[in-house]
Each structure stands twice: as C-alpha cells, then as structure tokens.
A and B are shown apart, each in its own frame.
Chain A
Amino acid sequence: MKGVLATDRRGVRELGAEELVGWDEVTHGVVLNSFETELENVAHIPPEERPYSDFSSYTATVASWRVIKPVYNRDICIDCQNCWVWCPDTSIISRDKQMLGIDYDHCKGCGVCVEVCPTNPKSLLMFAEAEDPETALSQWPEKKKKEKK
C-alpha cells in the first residue's frame, strides 16, 4: 500500500510545462478527465491511490512559486485540525483526524497554517525555502511563558 504522503502521482509535472498540442488534438468541448481510467466509488479511494490524470492539478507541482515554507513539528502538534481547515490550497495532509504533514507540491507558502496554529510554541513555523527540515526542527523555539502582569 502506498503511504499517505506518497508523491508518485502528486506534483509529477511542472504547471505550465505541458506539451502544447494543435487544434486537432485538444479535447472536445474543453472537457478534462480527472482520472486516467474509470473509477468506482472514488470517494472511498484515498487521494494518493487515485489515478489522477495530467489534467488534474493533483499531478501538477507549483512548489517553485514558494519563497518561504511551513515546517511541521509532530512533537508539539495536538491534531486540532485548525491548519487543515484553514489551508486555502488543501495542502495540509491529515488522515483520521491526525495531522501527517504538508503537501509541498501545492503549498504556496502563504503562512495561514502557522497563523492559525494554537499550540505554544507553534507546531508549524515558516522557514526559508532552502532550509533543511532537520535544521529547522533543531531551531524550534521554546515554550513562551505567560508574562505576569
């Protein structure tokens, strides 16, 4: 079984790098097939196992649009699902109410997930795109103490 974070179909092509075909080869009525084959009960097949076609944005990556990225810290996360609810690009991967990670093929680095994260310290923080995740995790801030009035 493929892992939930599998990327074997996800983001396999750069958005906009499609081969440009002629008028005789474009689809009838601009109708685009989501999957490469017919599927029964698609709602019950997890995304990473669906045969998404090259017309689906699932197979396109826009990772290059990002300048900064969220890094996820499993040790602090309470699986509240706030980031999953708020992410405008459905780029928070969660299964059975458990936060699993970030879809870096579709995340644009907007930082909303960090903004809405309620833990102390936050379980998601923005780092430079080039930052290695291990280093990022090693730099995680300590819990902030409430200032006494």
Chain B
Amino acid sequence: MIEIRWHSRAGQGAVTGAKGLGDVVSRTGKQVQAFALYGSAKRGAAMRAYNRIDDKPIINHAKFMLPDYVLVIDPALAFTDNITENDKPETKYIITTHLDKKELIAQIPELQDKQDRVYVVDCMQISLDTIGRAIPNAPMLGAFVKVSGMFELEDFLESMKRVLAKFPQKIIDANMAAITRAYNEVN
C-alpha cells in the first residue's frame, strides 16, 4: 500500500490531480483511492487530498494515514501547514517552491533531518509557463513520476492523454509539457 497526502489550496487542482493520478494508476491494473475532504472551503483555503494505491482492493476509508509521499503544491503551505504530520522515516516530500532545496530546508525546521527525502520543483512557474495559469497539479504529477519511479514517463504521458481526452488538444499539449518539464526539473 502506498499512501499519498496532497497539501493544496482549494482551487489549485489537488482533487483533480489526485483523481487524475488514480485514473492513470488504475490503468496499470492497480487498485486506487482518491479523495479529499472539503465542502464549505472557499477558494484559497488550505485543504488536503489523499491517494491510496495497492495491488488489492482498498477498503480503508479513514482519513488518517502515514503517508509515503507528501505532495505540497502551494509554496506557502510548506511554511504554514503541518506537512510533516504523521510522517514515517521514509516519507518523501515533493514541495513546490521557487527556492532551491537548501534555501527551502533552511527555512523549515521540521525538514532539517529529512534533507535526503525532500525534493523541490517550481510547479507554480511551470504551470504559468506551460498552461498559462497557476494550476500546479499537472507539474506535481510529473515530479511524482520521477521521484516515485512508479512509471516510465512515456507510459504516464500516454495514460494522461487518455484521461484528458475530453479537453481540447491545446490543453492536453500544455499539460504534457508541464508534466515533462517538472519530471526533468525536480531535484
């Protein structure tokens, strides 16, 4: 079982990202779960989304998890939200930031002893450059593909194209570019 927790703001696409990831993963024959707890949250409010991935049907419906991956798609949440909550010695962090890894870690005490498990990528800038809007979910998926090593980039892009099939070609292309660039830039 792999558990993933997304830290996001309402409107940044964490739910779509988590569901998109679930959709792609399901095409590899795995069982997936993607959920978010929201409701009256306004655009901009901090929120969390969750994924579970397993080879057998997923029957745990609790929100509580010990995440294997923490994906932070809003730059400020790395500072204000408790991103290390319930983490494990092997939990990997992918954080969107314009800072380099050293600068970021220097500013977040909780990450000091996790340096080798922290990855950074500027999903905001990548989404602005490729998609034209600050929707950092697609680049985060690219970074996750690289860090997790769960998929080959080409296979992931192919599956993602099918997930996005209902959108115009221009949007699909922009998302592919965002995923690819984040895959190459995450470090």
* Chain A residues engaging chain B, CB cutoff 8 angstroms: 14, 16, 62, 64-67, 108-109
* Chain B residues engaging chain A, CB cutoff 8 angstroms: 9, 42-46, 76, 80, 134
What residues of chain B lie closer than 8 Å to A67, measured between beta carbons?
44, 134
Complex alpha-carbon distance, A108 and B9, angstroms: 12
What residues of chain A lie closer than 8 Å to B76, measured between beta carbons?
64
List 9 A-B pairs, minimum CB-CB distance, nearest first: A65-B44, A108-B44, A64-B80, A65-B45, A64-B76, A66-B44, A67-B134, A65-B9, A108-B42
B76 closest partner in A (C-beta): A64
Question: Could you tell me the dominant secondary structure of chain A's interface residues?
Answer: loop
What residues of chain B lie closer than 8 Å to A16, measured between beta carbons?
46
Question: Could you tell me the dominant secondary structure of chain B's interface residues?
Answer: loop
Shortest CB–CB separation between residue B46 and chain A, in angstroms?
7
What residues of chain B lie closer than 8 Å to A109, measured between beta carbons?
44
Q: Would A62 and B45 count as touching, CB distance under 8 A?
A: yes
Q: Would B42 and A65 count as touching, CB distance under 8 A?
A: yes
What residues of chain B lie closer than 8 Å to A64, measured between beta carbons?
46, 76, 80
Q: Contacts A64-B76, A65-B9, A67-B134 given: A108-B46 contact, CB under 8 Å? A: no
What residues of chain A lie closer than 8 Å to B9, measured between beta carbons?
65
Shortest CB–CB separation between residue B128 and chain A, in angstroms?
11
Complex alpha-carbon distance, A62 and B46, angstroms: 10
Complex alpha-carbon distance, A96 and B46, angstroms: 36
Which of A16, A64, A66 has the most CB atoms of chain B within a 10 A radius of its CB?
Answer: A64
A89 closest partner in B (C-beta): B42
Supply 17 further A-B pairs (C-beta < 8 A) apart from A62-B45, A66-B44. Answer: A14-B80, A16-B46, A62-B44, A64-B46, A64-B76, A64-B80, A65-B9, A65-B42, A65-B43, A65-B44, A65-B45, A65-B46, A67-B44, A67-B134, A108-B42, A108-B44, A109-B44
B79 closest partner in A (C-beta): A64
Name the contact of A108 in the complex, choosing from B43, B80, B134 (C-beta under 8 A): B43
Complex alpha-carbon distance, A66 and B42, angstroms: 11
Complex alpha-carbon distance, A135 and B110, angstroms: 33
Shortest CB–CB separation between residue B124 and chain A, in angstroms?
9
B81 closest partner in A (C-beta): A64
What residues of chain A lie closer than 8 Å to B44, measured between beta carbons?
62, 65-67, 108-109
Complex alpha-carbon distance, A14 and B81, angstroms: 11
What residues of chain A lie closer than 8 Å to B134, measured between beta carbons?
67
Complex alpha-carbon distance, A6 and B170, angstroms: 49
What residues of chain A lie closer than 8 Å to B46, measured between beta carbons?
16, 64-65
Complex alpha-carbon distance, A62 and B80, angstroms: 12
- Subset of 20 A-B contacts with CB under 8 Å: A14-B80, A16-B46, A62-B44, A62-B45, A64-B46, A64-B76, A64-B80, A65-B9, A65-B42, A65-B43, A65-B44, A65-B45, A65-B46, A66-B44, A67-B44, A67-B134, A108-B42, A108-B43, A108-B44, A109-B44
